[in-house]
Protein backbone atom coordinates (compact mmCIF):
# COMPACT_ATOMS: atom_id res chain seq x y z
CA UNK A 1 0.00 0.00 0.00
CA UNK A 2 1.37 3.40 -0.99
CA UNK A 3 1.39 6.24 1.50
CA UNK A 4 0.30 9.66 0.32
CA UNK A 5 0.99 12.78 2.38
CA UNK A 6 -0.92 15.95 1.55
CA UNK A 7 0.96 19.15 2.43
CA UNK A 8 -1.33 22.18 2.66
CA UNK A 9 0.72 25.37 2.23
CA UNK A 10 -0.72 28.23 4.26
CA UNK A 11 2.33 30.14 5.52
CA UNK A 12 5.05 29.59 2.93
CA UNK A 13 5.31 29.08 -0.80
CA UNK A 14 6.12 25.97 -2.78
CA UNK A 15 9.47 27.54 -3.69
CA UNK A 16 10.34 27.82 0.01
CA UNK A 17 8.94 24.44 1.03
CA UNK A 18 9.90 22.06 -1.77
CA UNK A 19 13.69 22.16 -1.26
CA UNK A 20 13.33 21.47 2.48
CA UNK A 21 11.07 18.47 1.95
CA UNK A 22 13.25 17.21 -0.90
CA UNK A 23 16.38 17.37 1.27
CA UNK A 24 14.77 15.05 3.81
CA UNK A 25 13.51 12.69 1.11
CA UNK A 26 16.88 12.67 -0.68
CA UNK A 27 18.59 11.61 2.56
CA UNK A 28 16.63 8.33 2.45
CA UNK A 29 18.71 7.26 -0.56
CA UNK A 30 15.61 6.62 -2.67
CA UNK A 31 15.18 8.08 -6.14
CA UNK A 32 12.62 10.86 -6.47
CA UNK A 33 10.31 12.02 -9.27
CA UNK A 34 8.81 15.51 -9.13
CA UNK A 35 5.69 15.79 -11.27
CA UNK A 36 5.07 19.44 -12.08
CA UNK A 37 1.79 20.95 -13.28
CA UNK A 38 3.16 22.69 -16.38
CA UNK A 39 6.22 22.28 -18.63
CA UNK A 40 7.06 25.97 -18.11
CA UNK A 41 7.63 25.43 -14.38
CA UNK A 42 10.06 22.52 -14.88
CA UNK A 43 13.00 24.78 -15.77
CA UNK A 44 12.14 27.25 -13.00
CA UNK A 45 12.05 24.55 -10.29
CA UNK A 46 15.21 22.95 -11.68
CA UNK A 47 17.05 26.28 -11.33
CA UNK A 48 15.63 26.69 -7.84
CA UNK A 49 17.07 23.34 -6.72
CA UNK A 50 20.55 24.47 -7.79
CA UNK A 51 20.34 27.86 -6.06
CA UNK A 52 18.00 27.62 -3.03
CA UNK A 53 20.93 27.47 -0.57
CA UNK A 54 24.40 28.98 -0.89
CA UNK A 55 25.99 25.96 0.82
CA UNK A 56 24.16 23.03 -0.75
CA UNK A 57 22.16 21.83 -3.73
CA UNK A 58 20.00 18.88 -4.66
CA UNK A 59 21.41 16.71 -7.48
CA UNK A 60 18.74 16.45 -10.13
CA UNK A 61 17.97 16.63 -13.80
CA UNK A 62 15.32 17.19 -16.43
CA UNK A 63 14.78 15.41 -19.74
CA UNK A 64 16.82 17.85 -21.82
CA UNK A 65 19.86 17.31 -19.54
CA UNK A 66 20.13 13.70 -20.68
CA UNK A 67 21.00 10.71 -18.48
CA UNK A 68 17.52 10.80 -16.94
CA UNK A 69 17.92 7.23 -15.71
CA UNK A 70 20.92 8.30 -13.57
CA UNK A 71 19.25 11.24 -11.85
CA UNK A 72 18.50 10.80 -8.13
CA UNK A 73 15.81 13.49 -8.56
CA UNK A 74 14.02 13.83 -11.89
CA UNK A 75 11.70 16.75 -12.71
CA UNK A 76 9.04 16.53 -15.40
CA UNK A 77 5.48 17.52 -16.22
CA UNK A 78 5.01 14.10 -17.89
CA UNK A 79 4.24 10.71 -16.36
CA UNK A 80 7.62 9.23 -17.29
CA UNK A 81 9.77 7.79 -14.49
CA UNK A 82 13.15 7.07 -16.11
CA UNK A 83 15.02 6.99 -12.78
CA UNK A 84 12.81 4.25 -11.26
CA UNK A 85 11.80 6.62 -8.46
CA UNK A 86 10.32 5.22 -5.27
CA UNK A 87 9.19 8.65 -4.04
CA UNK A 88 6.88 10.99 -5.94
CA UNK A 89 6.35 14.70 -5.33
CA UNK A 90 3.27 16.22 -6.98
CA UNK A 91 3.33 20.02 -7.24
CA UNK A 92 1.72 22.94 -9.06
CA UNK A 93 -1.58 21.09 -9.48
CA UNK A 94 -0.14 18.30 -11.63
CA UNK A 95 -2.79 15.85 -12.81
CA UNK A 96 -2.68 12.34 -11.34
CA UNK A 97 -4.58 9.09 -11.67
CA UNK A 98 -4.57 6.19 -9.21
CA UNK A 99 -2.61 4.09 -11.71
CA UNK A 100 0.12 6.78 -11.70
CA UNK A 101 0.59 6.36 -7.95
CA UNK A 102 0.63 2.60 -7.45
CA UNK A 103 4.35 2.03 -7.98
CA UNK A 104 5.64 4.51 -5.41
CA UNK A 105 6.48 3.82 -1.77
CA UNK A 106 5.46 7.31 -0.78
CA UNK A 107 3.80 10.28 -2.46
CA UNK A 108 4.06 13.91 -1.35
CA UNK A 109 1.19 16.03 -2.67
CA UNK A 110 1.99 19.70 -2.05
CA UNK A 111 -0.66 22.33 -2.73
CA UNK A 112 -1.18 26.03 -2.13
CA UNK A 113 -4.12 27.21 0.00
CA UNK A 114 -4.32 30.43 -2.01
CA UNK A 115 -4.67 28.72 -5.40
CA UNK A 116 -8.25 27.58 -6.10
CA UNK A 117 -7.24 25.23 -8.92
CA UNK A 118 -4.58 23.49 -6.82
CA UNK A 119 -7.01 23.22 -3.90
CA UNK A 120 -9.66 21.66 -6.15
CA UNK A 121 -7.18 19.17 -7.62
CA UNK A 122 -5.95 18.24 -4.13
CA UNK A 123 -9.53 17.54 -3.05
CA UNK A 124 -9.99 15.30 -6.09
CA UNK A 125 -6.75 13.46 -5.24
CA UNK A 126 -7.96 13.04 -1.64
CA UNK A 127 -11.19 11.47 -2.94
CA UNK A 128 -9.13 9.27 -5.27
CA UNK A 129 -7.43 7.88 -2.16
CA UNK A 130 -10.84 6.98 -0.71
CA UNK A 131 -11.49 4.84 -3.79
CA UNK A 132 -8.11 3.07 -3.63
CA UNK A 133 -5.82 1.50 -1.07
CA UNK A 134 -3.64 4.44 -0.10
CA UNK A 135 -2.55 5.24 3.41
CA UNK A 136 -3.46 8.91 3.65
CA UNK A 137 -1.97 11.67 5.83
CA UNK A 138 -2.78 15.38 5.95
CA UNK A 139 -0.28 18.05 7.05
CA UNK A 140 -1.02 21.73 7.55
CA UNK A 141 1.30 24.57 8.43
CA UNK A 142 1.07 26.27 11.79
CA UNK A 143 1.33 30.08 11.97
CA UNK A 144 5.08 29.54 12.54
CA UNK A 145 5.26 27.57 9.25
CA UNK A 146 5.88 24.25 11.05
CA UNK A 147 4.14 21.09 9.85
CA UNK A 148 1.38 19.62 12.00
CA UNK A 149 -0.47 16.43 11.12
CA UNK A 150 -4.22 16.90 11.19
CA UNK A 151 -7.06 14.43 11.45
CA UNK A 152 -7.25 12.85 8.00
CA UNK A 153 -10.95 12.19 7.76
Q: By the 8 A CB rule, do 21 and 13 touch?
A: no
Q: What string of pLDDT tens digits covers the 153 residues of the chain?
A: 789 999 999 999 999 999 999 999 999 999 999 999 999 999 999 999 988 888 878 899 999 988 999 999 999 999 999 999 999 999 999 998 888 888 899 999 999 989 999 999 999 998 888 777 788 999 999 999 899 999 765
- Tell me how far apart the alpha carbons of residues 131 and 94 are, in angstroms, rounded to a whole number: 19
Q: Which domains does the chain have, with CATH numbers?
A: 3-150 (3.40.50.10110)
SS3 91: strand
SS3 107: strand
- What DSSP designation does 63 have? G
**pTM confidence score:** 0.94
Amino acid sequence: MSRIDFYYLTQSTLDETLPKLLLKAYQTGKNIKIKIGTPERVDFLSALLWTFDDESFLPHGVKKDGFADLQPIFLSSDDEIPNNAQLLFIVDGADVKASDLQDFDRIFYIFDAKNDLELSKARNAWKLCDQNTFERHYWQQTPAAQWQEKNNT
